[in-house]
């Protein structure tokens, strides 16, 4: 399951966890690198420059903010 992430917002529901996105393109804005997502989401994808940047959850961490690492980029289908 890939979850579209939402920018970090302190008013977000409690059924989310805070994550940080690591890696990917340097042009990805800093404000997109902090997100809130459902606690069981294994991946997030961020729309960026005509495509999506995909980040995956590590298997070895449960701390908050959980660091998701960049995995790959895909293009938006037209």
pLDDT at residue 65, rounded to an integer: 86
- Specify the pLDDT at position 75: 92
Q: What is the mean pLDDT of residues 18-46?
A: 93
Residue 78 lies in a domain: no
Whether 16 is in a domain gets the answer yes
Domain that holds residue 12: 2-71
> How many domains does the chain contain in total?
1
Higher-confidence residue of 67 and 3: namely 67
> What's the mean pLDDT in 1-28?
74
The closest of 34, 39, 47 to 17, measured between CA atoms, is 39
Q: Is the pLDDT of residue 24 over 80?
A: yes
Would 62 be classed as within a structural domain? yes
Q: Which of 18-22, 32-36, 58-62 has the lowest mean pLDDT?
A: 58-62
76 within a domain of the structure (yes/no):
no
Instruction: Look at residue 44 and tell me if it is in a domain.
Output: yes
In a domain, 27, yes or no: yes
Checking if the pLDDT of 39 tops 50, the result is: yes
Do the domain assignments include residue 77? Answer: no
Evaluate whether residue 28 is within a structural domain: yes
């Amino acid at each position: 399951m890939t979850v579209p992430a939402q920018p970090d917002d302190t008013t977000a529901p409690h059924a989310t966890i805070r994550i940080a996105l690591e890696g990917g393109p340097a042009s990805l804005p800093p404000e997109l690198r902090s997100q809130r997502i459902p606690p069981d989401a294994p991946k997030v994808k961020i729309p960026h420059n005509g495509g999506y940047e995909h980040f995956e959850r590590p298997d070895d961490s449960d701390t908050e903010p959980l660091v998701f690492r960049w995995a790959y980029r895909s293009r938006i289908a037209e």
